[in-house]
Amino acid sequence: MSRIRRRDTRPELALRRGLHARGWRYFVGRPVAGVSRCRPDLLFPRLRLAVFVDGCFWHFCVEHTHLPTANAAYWHAKLLANRRRDAAHDHELSSAGWAVVRVWEHTPPAEAIDAVEAVLRRAAADV
């Protein structure tokens, strides 16, 4: 477990490279002022957009998560708590006027880039 990266994962790097290639600039791992312990993977402060790239295991993806058989009750509770925390962060950011995009790690990079860019274009049109 200690080898699992907190940031700079392959899906996150693919998303960052794709958005950068399309001309979008962002901050990586920057906290959002006024929001408790929330560090989006990508932050677009001028457009007030926070992007999270969620891993299937840690964020309890319905399609891909398989619980470990050892200590299954602990892991189930832990992963549900992670999901609840994600929802709380989304609510907190939305209440503060931020748009939130969550992308699963299993989403093909081109799809993820298109989804984030669509939100970015809508936000840029509003500014």
Domains and CATH numbers, the chain: 10-121 (3.40.960.10)
Residue range 59-111, pLDDT digits in tens: 888 888 788 889 989 999 999 999 999 999 999 999 999 999 999 999 999 99
- What's the confidence (pLDDT) of residue 2? 55
d(CA 68, CA 77): 12
| Rama region for 73: left / alpha / beta (φ>0; ψ in -120 to 50; rest) | alpha
Cα(79)–Cα(18) distance, integer angstroms: 29
Q: Where are the beta strands (DSSP E) in the chain?
A: 27-28, 42-44, 49-54, 99-104
pLDDT at 58: 85
Task: For residue range 28-62, list pLDDT tens digits in order.
Answer: 989 998 887 889 999 999 999 999 999 988 888 88
Residue 31 DSSP class: P
Rounded-to-integer distance, Cα 14 and Cα 67, Å: 27
pLDDT at 120 over 90: yes
pTM of the complete model: 0.90
Q: What pLDDT score was predicted for residue 1?
A: 58
The predicted pLDDT at position 5 comes to: 64
12 confidence band (pLDDT: 50, 70, 90) = very high
